[in-house]
Amino acid sequence: MQRLSRQQLVTLVLLTLTWGLNWPVMKLGVSNFPALSFRAVTVLAGLPVLAAVLLALKVPFRVPRRSWGELFWLALTNMVVWNVCMILALRSLSSGRAAILAYTMPIFSAVFGALLFHTRLAARGWLGVGAAAVGVALLLWHEFTVLAGRPWGVALALFSAAVWALGTQLLRRSRIEVPTLTLSFWMTALSGVVATVLAVAFERQQWQLPGPAAWGAIAYNAILIFGFSQAAWLSLARNLPPVASTLSVMFIPVLGVFVGALWLGEVLHWQDWAAVLLMVVAIASVLWPGRPAPAAA
């Protein structure tokens, strides 16, 4: 099993907090501004923040021409489909439901790893995937009737999770020899271009000046999500095995549910507390240090 460095552990904690809190923030944003336009503005506003980080750390922007094709597919599967489809799904789902559906991703990742990449998952890994699956089902226990009335939102959220899972597998196997921050910048830029084109094509008639709530959501996403969290996630996904990276962030939907309960007054049930324990099991299954391998004779 994977042993995290102190830097990776700090990154994981910050990533969980920023992404977990972002679900109600995004819901607030798309409730006060057209969804695709909200995503386009947040990505384009976050791009200079990310560029400033690269400049401050003296990280090169250049990607070799031979790697452009692979970069395109990594961007498409890791960010473009996710950012477009999930923000559209969020319009018809509550922030908690959207977060739970989004984090079915580790289940898809385990399946893709086994079927497409012939990855042999240890028993602890399958235990984690199973615990995550049951935990997601428990978090959705009281939501199935509501979700049945929003099939397109559910379908978009699950499709986003599946494509993101595939992207995580591809990123781990990437042969592009550039820093992760460089990848993050260009993948974010491509996401911004696609979201902008779609917003102009489908939402131009709905444009209006954002209100205070929308501006707050835009600032949060620009600085903390696209300026930090996306790059932090790509770093974990690129340096950890896919199942370890995906299960390590399974506290994000739990945080989304509990923040929704705190901010929106939603009632918590025993299933929610049971899901917390299962997510702990899922995370521990891949991050708890295993026994050292016996020395070779």
- Tens of pLDDT, residue by residue over 194-223, are 999 999 999 999 888 888 888 999 999 999
Residue 294 CB neighbour total at 10 angstroms? 6
294 in a domain, yes or no? no
Please report the pLDDT score of residue 291 as a whole number.
56
Higher-confidence residue of 15 and 146: namely 15
Residue 160 resides in a domain: yes
- The answer to whether residue 296 sits within a structural domain is no
Say whether pLDDT at 36 is over 90. Answer: yes
CB within 8 Å of 45: residues ≥ 6 apart: 218, 219, 221, 222, 226
Q: Indicate whether 197 belongs to any domain.
A: yes
Per-residue pLDDT averaged across 74-94, rounded? 92
**In which band, very low, low, confident or very high, does the pLDDT at 115 lie, cut at 50, 70 and 90?**
confident
**Dihedral angle of Cα 21, 283, 78, 179, to the nearest 10 degrees:** 100
Q: Looking at the domain assignment, is residue 293 inside a domain?
A: no
Does 292 map to a domain? Answer: no
Tens digits of per-residue pLDDT, 59-79?
999 999 999 999 999 999 999
Mean pLDDT of 93-106: 80
Give the pLDDT confidence score for residue 191 in this predicted structure.
Answer: 95
> Whole-model pTM?
0.84
- 130 domain residue, yes or no: yes
Given pLDDT bands bounded at 50, 70 and 90, which one contains residue 93? Answer: confident
pLDDT band at 240 (very low <50, low <70, confident <90, very high): confident
Are 40 and 194 in contact, with CB atoms under 8 Å apart?
no
pLDDT higher at 286 or 84: 84
Q: What per-residue confidence (pLDDT) applies to 273? A: 74
Q: How many domains in the chain?
A: 1
Domain housing 89: 6-287
* Helices 151-172 and 230-239, axial angle in degrees (round to 10): 50
Rounded-to-integer distance, Cα 26 and Cα 21, Å: 9
- The secondary structure element, H or E, covering residue 48 is helix 35-57
Cβ proximity of 246 and 195 under 8 Å? no
Q: Does any domain span residue 146?
A: yes
Instruction: Say what the pLDDT of residue 71 is.
Output: 95
**Local confidence band at 297 (pLDDT 50, 70, 90 cut-offs):** very low
pLDDT bracket for residue 254 (50, 70, 90): confident
